[in-house]
Amino acid sequence: MLTRLPEEIVCAIAAQLSPATLAVLSCVSKRLHAICLPLLYKRVVIDGPTIAKWRRMVSSGHLAPTQAYHIEFLSDVCDISNTKELLQLLAISLRQMPGLRSFKLCGYWVGLLDQALDGLENSSVLHELQSLQHLETILLYHHPNPRCNFRWRLPRFKNLQSLALHRLGEREWRDQTSDVVEVLLASPGLRDLGLSFVPEAGLDNDFLCKVISDFRSRRQQLEQPALQLKSLHLGIGTMPWSNTRFDMPGYLDDLTDLSHLTSLRLDNMHYLPFEGPVVPYEPIDPTLFQHATNLRRISVERFGPDILCLVQLLQEVQSPLRLDALDVLDYGNTLQPDSPEFANEPLHELHTPEFVGEPIYSVPLDKTGVAWRRLCYSGPVAWDNSKEMLKKSRELLTHFVARCTALEELIIPIHNRDELDVLMTDVLPRLPNLHTLHLPWPDLAAFLSGLEKPWHEPYHLHNMSEEEKERLFQKDRELDREQEKSRISLVHELFSYHLQLREDREEMSSLRYIAIERDVYARHWTNPSAEGLYRLNDGSSIIRLSRDEARTVGIVEYLSIVEQVFSNAMGLDRPDPI
């Protein structure tokens, strides 16, 4: 009956419903999903250039409650059909969100947005979003089409709490440094900042140094204090190292009071698409962070000697020690100097052991050996082409984990059965406090089931007939079902094994969450008569959390800074522990 009521009546009814009821209704139909989702999570995500979806949203009139609007697909808008309509729908939908707090925009959209509607040449859709507290933009590579190489100005937002501007420099942007400085000055409440800049020639951090230099001069004129950032994310072209062209020792202190910093992310590996497999490594100057006495978490793409020095420095200056979380997000490209793969690979001037990175076993412990609560490592655990290396890896990893008994979250990839055996027999039994295990690789289920995971770019489908699309989607759905069975089977095996370990060890905590890539599974107590759930020996069942539930748990990796901050700002509660 609800599906046959007029749109305005359905919206009025939905506004009075509980979150649990909204969650159920959002799965009934596309129409109810479009109405209930903004009310339930106050969050809309566009993950593909689907005009029909945007048409429904704009025409439905239900976007007013939206507080987060994320355009997440990184695509070349110039190659998508109906570009003008897409941009018009985007601009119109933004004007229907008066209370928008979080906005994420990727790709060429950033500059074309203000050109989308007739008569917008002298105004700006983005300038009207002064309610924004969280803004993230990601620009793509320079495009040969002159229509895409726009010029744009960053609005002077005044209420920002988090700002992420990535891949700046790949677009013509007049007064880019002054624009960033003006936003920083206008948002004294800024707590999270992300910057990356693609220089035209070579890797340098001139942009970062110039921004900080200008910001210091301007805030001194205005008698404003430095920022009090809690989170800092620096990428290509903004690595913090001493620059001889700028006489600014300890220049990070001119940007923010480092004693407030709790999270640091450094994207210190840079993939050059025109240079073949060469991956340059940008080291940092650890002494720039000597005043980060409250830093709790470090995330890096490569754990190099400089990061090793940074961790050791913080362990010396922090009293008591607060650093307890380390993420090494090298995306599986680490070749350790003593690995068989590295021995057979020709050396390059940018591909030497100095830039390869340290193995996970070299992560320094504090004097007590129990400081680390969370570790994420994306390098290989073992190499199946060498029994000797497998034995060595097992011994080193076991020795390392045995000294990290306080670990509560472990994020580590599994590439083969040997690594799974190492995880189950040598790692899990030594972690009595572990409650979250994340295996962040999408090909794990495919490896176990012998399947290949399908992948299709949505905007390549517009040239296919409806029958071809349906056949393709049907095949994808069948493969996805097989993949899900494999993932559930593996999760069931891990949960069951951990329950067996707890039978002999009363002090061992319950393993609550297992994640494979972005699919998060949890133990849940349900009615014994419920069907379709995988049962465990203790009477609990395995369920897969929705993507939004997984975000509130906080264990889904590689989410943007804006997403993480927004989830916390919205006050979404974590599920009660089992």
| 187 contacts 160 by C-beta, under 8 angstroms | yes
175 within a domain of the structure (yes/no): no
pLDDT at 291: 95
Per-residue pLDDT of 501-539, as tens digits, reads: 988 888 898 888 888 876 788 887 655 555 555 677 776
Can you give the residue range of the structural domain that contains 528? Answer: 441-556
Per-residue pLDDT of 404-422, as tens digits, reads: 888 888 887 776 777 788 8
- Partner residues linked to 266 by β-bridges: 234, 300
Distance, in Å, from the CA atom of 194 to the CA atom of 560, rounded to the nearest integer, reads 10
Closest CA to 517 of 332, 374, 358: 332
Domain count across the chain: 1
Per-residue pLDDT of 297-332, as tens digits, reads: 998 888 888 888 898 899 889 988 889 888 877 543
Distance, in Å, from the CA atom of 62 to the CA atom of 47, rounded to the nearest integer, reads 19
Helix 51-60 and helix 30-41, axial crossing angle in degrees, nearest 10: 70
* Two structure tokens written together for 370: 């129990």
Distance, in Å, from the CA atom of 391 to the CA atom of 200, rounded to the nearest integer, reads 46
Per-residue pLDDT of 18-66, as tens digits, reads: 777 887 888 888 888 888 877 876 877 776 656 776 777 777 777 888 8
| β pairing state of 297-300 and 43-46 | unpaired
| Backbone torsions φ then ψ of 348, nearest 5 degrees | -125, 160
436 pLDDT band (50/70/90 cuts)?
confident
Question: Which range has the worst mean pLDDT, 64-73, 184-193, 490-499?
Answer: 64-73
Distances (CA, A) of 35 to 61, 69, 82: 9, 15, 25
pLDDT at 348: 34
pLDDT at 244: 81
How many other β-carbons are positioned within 10 Å of the β-carbon of residue 140?
18
Rg (CA), the chain: 25
280 within a domain of the structure (yes/no): no
The chain-wide mean pLDDT, for the chain, equals: 72
Rounded average pLDDT over 260-284: 73
Is the pLDDT assigned to residue 339 strictly greater than 80?
no
Distances (CA, A) of 204 to 141, 223, 346: 18, 30, 26
Q: What is the DSSP letter of 148?
A: G
* Two structure tokens written together for 553: 């748990």
Is the pLDDT assigned to residue 571 strictly greater than 50?
no
pLDDT at 334: 37
pTM: 0.75
Distance, in Å, from the CA atom of 549 to the CA atom of 272, rounded to the nearest integer, reads 36
HEC profile for 485-524?
A: HHHHHHHHHHHHHHHHHHHHCCCCCCCCEEEECCEEEEEE
552 within a domain of the structure (yes/no): yes
Distances (CA, A) of 511 to 218, 429, 466: 51, 12, 45
3-class SS shares of the chain: helix, strand, coil, % to 5? 40, 15, 45
CA atoms 96, 100, 104, 110: torsion sign: positive
459 within a domain of the structure (yes/no): yes
Distance, in Å, from the CA atom of 240 to the CA atom of 273, rounded to the nearest integer, reads 24
Q: Is 371 exposed, middle or buried (0-12, 13-18, 19+ CB in 10 A)?
A: buried
Distance, in Å, from the CA atom of 505 to the CA atom of 433, rounded to the nearest integer, reads 11
HEC profile for 62-79?
A: CCCCCCEEEECCCCCHHH
475 within a domain of the structure (yes/no): yes
| Backbone torsions φ then ψ of 261, nearest 5 degrees | -75, 125
218 pLDDT band (50/70/90 cuts)?
very high
Distance, in Å, from the CA atom of 437 to the CA atom of 407, rounded to the nearest integer, reads 10
Q: What is the DSSP letter of 106?
A: E
| Backbone torsions φ then ψ of 318, nearest 5 degrees | -85, 130
Distance, in Å, from the CA atom of 80 to the CA atom of 66, rounded to the nearest integer, reads 26
Instruction: Name the 3-class secondary structure at 101.
Output: coil
Distance, in Å, from the CA atom of 469 to the CA atom of 456, rounded to the nearest integer, reads 11
Distance, in Å, from the CA atom of 557 to the CA atom of 377, rounded to the nearest integer, reads 12
pLDDT at 185: 94
The residue to which tokens 């009025």 are assigned:
12
158 within a domain of the structure (yes/no): no
Distances (CA, A) of 76 to 93, 142, 271, 560: 21, 11, 19, 20
Closest CA to 282 of 311, 240, 226, 244: 240
* Two structure tokens written together for 305: 């000697």
Instruction: Name the 3-class secondary structure at 363.
Output: coil
Closest CA to 455 of 484, 480, 486: 480
512 within a domain of the structure (yes/no): yes
* More confident position, 139 or 12: 12
456 within a domain of the structure (yes/no): yes
Per-residue pLDDT of 351-375, as tens digits, reads: 333 334 555 666 766 655 557 888 8
> How many CA atoms, within 13 angstroms, populate the side-chain half-sphere of residue 298?
29
Instruction: Name the 3-class secondary structure at 534.
Output: strand
Per-residue pLDDT of 105-128, as tens digits, reads: 776 555 555 554 444 444 567 777
Could you write out the DSSP letters of every residue in 127-141? GG-TT-SEEEEE---
Torsion, CA 407, CA 409, CA 413, CA 419, rounded to 10: 40
Q: What contacts 290, CB < 8 A, 6 or more positions away?
A: 313, 317
How many residues are listed for the chain in this entry?
Answer: 578
